[in-house]
């Protein structure tokens, strides 16, 4: 067995039928990675006794840390606790601190009576170490058997995160000695994954065996992550840093940022550094660009607002797009987005503006304007620049790609690359 590695088991029929997206595994894996614990396997199982037992048996063969989420609620389909009690040979007892906490939540905070179903959440196997859950009613549990640690956590995301941060990770750091793992990530735009791989093939081939390169493509951009691992923290950090500088030089023409942050954060930081502002005029994206720019704290320093000009009447009345433009070349055109960008920048008195108009699908195309055709415009006080994109995804994906391409086009204008 690898000296230290983990298996994550998520429990719930809703995960298997796609009704709920499993974000718990991603959070736990990231938390483990930060302390140098590799995740060997991630297993999703339904609310089925035999499937859960098989997953536990399989995990224990190869991993010495097993983290389970889900199945600890008050309803009949929450079978994890009685199953673990039988699996580890315990008996159910009441954990008084948890009962007191649950009573407080119902009687003091919610001001409603607590029923037996809720009281039973304070019951735990007597063979576990209780992980007190300040954020909810289901306590976490830690079982130890044959040098394997089994953590059982609620499936409710905010409760799982709190228990992971305050119980799971501190316990692992105390009782295990993980290898040191170092990551460095950069973001590229304007080049596809396969072309990027060709560009840096020699760099990748020359990497030492303990430093790995990963390609992480997403919505028109590619992140590159270098990962080094070993026992000597300082040595690994220095090695990865030196290789990272070589990687940056190799992709310099397409480099967006040498930090692991999304495009909208990069552009927001650029604007804040310059004490500048931006406004948006959106048609086909329906406000999604504004959402990206404004979702992080401090965005009011650079994002003033936007106009969602989905209807052509809004384009003419609020953004000065002439009826002649709409009748001749149409709303999805260079002329329309350039006028939209110029108008919203002037009306909102900002340094920059973004505008978009396109055909997101699945309908609306013409012979001249196919599905996925999008015009993007950006403007400052000196000029307006526009670019057409031809996208090939479904409607929601096209909106996401358009928003990121638009924000990247603004970035290029800010740094004088267009």
* pLDDT tens for the chain, residues 1 to 418: 457 899 999 999 998 998 988 999 999 999 999 888 999 999 999 999 999 999 999 999 999 999 999 988 777 767 899 999 999 999 999 999 999 998 888 888 878 887 888 888 899 999 999 999 999 888 999 999 999 999 999 999 999 999 999 999 999 999 998 888 899 999 999 899 999 999 999 999 999 999 999 999 987 799 999 999 888 889 999 999 999 999 999 999 999 999 999 999 999 999 999 999 999 999 999 999 999 999 999 999 999 999 999 999 999 999 999 999 999 999 999 999 999 999 999 999 999 999 999 999 999 899 899 999 999 999 999 999 999 999 999 999 999 999 999 999 999 999 999 9
The half-sphere exposure of 67 on its side-chain side, counting CA atoms within 13 A, is: 32
Measure the CA–CA gap between 402 and 219, rounded to whole angstroms: 9
Looking up tokens 């965005």 gives: 299
What pLDDT does residue 2 have?
53
- Listed in order, the ranges of the chain carrying CATH 3.90.950.20 are 263-414
Tokens standing for residue 259:
């930090």
What's the fold here for domain 263-414?
Maf protein (3.90.950)
Strand arrangement of the beta sheet that strand 129-131 belongs to: 39-45, 6-11, 65-69, 148-153, 140-145, 129-131
Taking alpha carbons only, the member of 265, 256, 263, 289 closest to residue 358 is 289
The half-sphere exposure of 283 on its side-chain side, counting CA atoms within 13 A, is: 31
The half-sphere exposure of 338 on its side-chain side, counting CA atoms within 13 A, is: 12
What pLDDT does residue 291 have?
98
* Cβ contact 418:412 at 8 Å: yes
What's the fold here for domain 6-175?
Molybdenum Cofactor Biosythetic Enzyme; Chain A (3.40.980)
> What's the predicted TM-score (pTM) here?
0.78
| CATH architecture entry for 180-257 | 2-Layer Sandwich (3.30)
Tokens standing for residue 138:
């289901």
The angle formed by the CA atoms of residues 37, 40 and 45, to the nearest 5 degrees, is 120
């Amino acid at each position: 067995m690898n000296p230290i590695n983990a298996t994550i088991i998520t429990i719930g029929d809703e995960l298997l039928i796609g009704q709920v997206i499993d974000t718990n595994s991603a959070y736990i894996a990231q938390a483990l990675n930060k302390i140098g614990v590799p995740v060997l396997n991630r297993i999703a199982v339904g609310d089925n006794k035999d499937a859960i037992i098989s997953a536990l048996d399989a995990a224990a063969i190869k991993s010495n840390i097993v983290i389970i989420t889900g199945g600890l609620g008050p309803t009949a389909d929450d079978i994890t606790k009685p199953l673990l009690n039988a699996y580890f040979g315990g008996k159910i007892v009441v954990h008084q601190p948890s009962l007191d906490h649950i009573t407080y939540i119902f009687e003091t905070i919610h001001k409603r009576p607590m029923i037996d179903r809720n009281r039973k959440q304070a019951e735990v196997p007597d063979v576990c170490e209780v992980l007190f859950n300040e954020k909810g009613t289901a306590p976490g549990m830690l079982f130890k058997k044959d040098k394997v640690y089994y953590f059982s956590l609620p499936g409710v995301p905010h409760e799982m995160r709190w228990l992971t941060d305050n119980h799971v990770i501190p316990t692992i750091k105390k009782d295990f000695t993980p290898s040191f793992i170092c990551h460095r990530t950069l973001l590229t735009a304007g080049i596809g994954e396969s072309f990027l791989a060709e560009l840096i093939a020699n760099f990748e081939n020359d990497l030492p065996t303990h430093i790995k390169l990963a390609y992480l493509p997403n919505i028109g951009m590619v992140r590159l992550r270098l990962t080094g691992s070993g026992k000597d923290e300082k040595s690994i950090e220095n090695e990865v840093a030196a290789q990272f500088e070589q990687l940056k030089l190799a992709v310099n023409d397409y480099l967006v940022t040498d930090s692991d942050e999304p495009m909208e954060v990069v552009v927001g930081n650029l604007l804040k550094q310059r004490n500048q502002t931006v406004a948006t005029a959106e048609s086909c994206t329906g406000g999604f660009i504004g959402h990206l720019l404004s979702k992080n704290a401090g965005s009011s320093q650079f994002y003033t607002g936007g106009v969602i000009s989905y209807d052509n009447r809004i384009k003419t009345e609020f953004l000065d797009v002439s009826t002649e433009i709409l009748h001749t070349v149409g709303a999805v055109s260079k002329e329309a987005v350039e006028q939209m960008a110029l108008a919203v920048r002037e009306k909102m008195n900002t340094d920059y503006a973004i505008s978009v108009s396109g055909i997101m699908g699945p309908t609306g195309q013409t012979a001249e304007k196919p599905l996925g055709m999008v015009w993007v415009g950006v403007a400052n006080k000196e000029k307006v620049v526009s670019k057409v994109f031809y996208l090939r995804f479904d409607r929601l994906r096209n909106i996401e790609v358009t928003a990121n391409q638009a924000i990247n086009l603004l970035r290029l204008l800010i740094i004088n690359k267009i």
